[in-house]
């Protein structure tokens, strides 16, 4: 009877959180709310609610509350909880790559995976109820290149169009290769403002990614105006280019060389996917 009483209390508390617009909680939150319950009792009650599909754990000791409209899926869309999850983990983040591109209308189709950029150490992917969240690590999270987007449950941090473009180049293997990256950048280009191709951006970016993006701007998606602004800013910022392959994993010998961007054009990019 004690377990049933404890579980009823926890269930009511979860319903109360949901009525206040909260869709997540941690085990620590439960222990603070029910200090008299043992760890075993808390775990048992959480397991019962999980079996009933009222809650689901998406990270160690971090739970989502499933509202009625998401009962059939058994989980919330990542955009509704990623900010709270990353705050719980204590890591900086932003939604990036295909996930951010889709928010700017630059995606051929809704990506099947959700991409979150964070710092090191690397996090394992979250795979729950058909949802895949891939965490990609980079050494510096450029806060000044992030935008804030409102969601039904709060806000999320999203990479700006130009940071999205650079990340698509840097992490092209994670999203299906340079063809797909270039196709998405082509759709994203109208959202990239020349003023954002500035010194601050260059300091926060890999030089190789800048070279590749400049080459793609100029020779693949035919946006010479963006290429010219980027190139002029590289000169002003005294960015030094070195011979760089357009595609890292391809052979280097026997291909033409673009002298402006110092790119070995060792792959033909097709943007029609």
Instruction: Evaluate if residue 108 carries a pLDDT over 70.
Output: no
Average pLDDT over residues 62-85: 96
Instruction: Evaluate if residue 75 carries a pLDDT over 80.
Output: yes
pLDDT for res 2? 43
Give the confidence band of 106 by pLDDT, cuts at 50, 70, 90: confident
pLDDT cut 70: percent of the chain above it:
93
Closest CA to 262 of 237, 231, 233: 231
Instruction: Evaluate if residue 50 carries a pLDDT over 80.
Output: yes
pLDDT for res 124? 96
pLDDT for res 273? 52
Q: Which domains, and CATH codes, for the chain?
A: 2-70 (1.10.10), 78-264 (3.30.460)
The alpha-carbon radius of gyration of the chain (Å, integer) is 23
Helical H segments across the chain, by residue range? 2-19, 27-33, 39-51, 82-89, 97-103, 161-170, 178-188, 199-203, 207-219, 224-236
- Reading the block at residue 37, the tokens are 């319950």
Residue 87 CA to its chain's centroid (Å): 15
pLDDT for res 271? 83
Give the confidence band of 81 by pLDDT, cuts at 50, 70, 90: very high
**Stronger pLDDT, 43 or 271, i.e. the higher one:** 43
Low-confidence winner among 2-11, 114-123, 149-158, 218-227 (lowest mean pLDDT): 2-11
Give the confidence band of 1 by pLDDT, cuts at 50, 70, 90: very low
The per-residue pLDDT for range 195-232, each reduced to its tens digit, is 999 999 999 999 999 999 999 999 999 999 999 999 99
pLDDT for res 5? 42
Distances from the Cα of 222 to the Cαs of 106, 215, 216, in angstroms?
17, 10, 8
Backbone angles phi, psi at 56, to 5 degrees: -150, 140
Mean pLDDT of the chain: 93
Rounded to whole angstroms, the Cα distance separating 26 from 24 reads 7
Are the beta carbons of 82 and 114 closer than 8 angstroms? yes
Question: CB under 8 Å to 19, separation ≥6 — which residues?
Answer: none
Give the confidence band of 4 by pLDDT, cuts at 50, 70, 90: very low
Rounded to whole angstroms, the Cα distance separating 83 from 101 reads 18
- Reading the block at residue 267, the tokens are 């792959």
What is the model's pTM? 0.92
């Amino acid at each position: 009877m004690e377990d049933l009483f404890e579980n009823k209390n926890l269930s009511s508390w979860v319903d109360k959180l949901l009525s206040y617009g909260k869709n997540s909680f941690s085990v620590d939150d439960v222990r603070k709310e029910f200090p008299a319950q043992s760890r075993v009792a808390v775990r048992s009650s959480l397991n019962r609610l999980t079996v009933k599909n009222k809650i689901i754990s998406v990270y160690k000791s971090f739970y989502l509350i499933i509202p009625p409209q998401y009962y059939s899926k058994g989980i919330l869309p990542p955009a509704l909880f990623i900010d709270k999850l990353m705050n719980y983990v204590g890591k900086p983040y932003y939604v990036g790559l295909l996930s951010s591109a889709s928010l700017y209308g630059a995606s051929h189709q809704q990506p099947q995976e959700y991409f979150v950029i964070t710092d090191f150490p690397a996090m394992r992917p979250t795979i729950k109820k058909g949802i895949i969240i891939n965490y990609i690590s980079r050494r510096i999270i450029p806060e000044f290149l992030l935008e804030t987007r409102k969601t039904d449950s709060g806000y999320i941090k999203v990479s700006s169009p130009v940071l999205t473009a650079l990340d698509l180049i840097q992490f092209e293997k994670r999203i299906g290769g340079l063809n797909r990256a270039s196709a998405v950048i082509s759709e994203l280009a109208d959202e990239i403002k020349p003023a954002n191709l500035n010194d601050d951006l260059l300091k926060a970016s890999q030089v190789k990614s800048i070279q590749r993006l400049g080459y793609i701007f100029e020779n693949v998606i035919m946006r010479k105006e963006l290429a010219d602004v980027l190139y002029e800013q590289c000169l002003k910022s005294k960015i030094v280019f070195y011979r760089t392959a357009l595609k890292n994993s391809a052979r280097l010998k026997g291909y033409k060389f673009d002298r402006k961007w110092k790119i070995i054009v060792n792959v033909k990019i097709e943007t029609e996917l």
